[in-house]
Amino acid sequence: MYKDKTGANNPMSKEVYVYDASTKELIQRYDTCVSLVKDLHISKVTINKYIDTNIAYKSMLFFSNQQ
């Protein structure tokens, strides 16, 4: 069955919190994944791969909720 991927159901429209991997300090909160992709020049595929995994990518951790 096809899921509606518009509005709040769109995975690219969710908040993303970026943390420093070594200090666990919040670096930045992005309102949408799209703004993160544009600001950090990281592909959306990479963000989706690392979000909420607690695995660092380029010394950053990505979470969909504040830690």
| Torsion on CA atoms 62, 63, 66, 67, rounded to nearest 10 | -80
Burial of 59 (0-12, 13-18, 19+ CB in 10 A): exposed
- Domain coordinates of the chain in residue numbers? 12-63
* pLDDT surpasses 50 at 1: no
Structure confidence by residue, pLDDT tens digits, 14-53: 899 999 999 999 999 999 989 999 999 999 999 999 999 9
pLDDT at 9 over 70: no
Give the pLDDT score at 14: 85
Q: What is the pLDDT at residue 3?
A: 64
- pTM value is 0.82
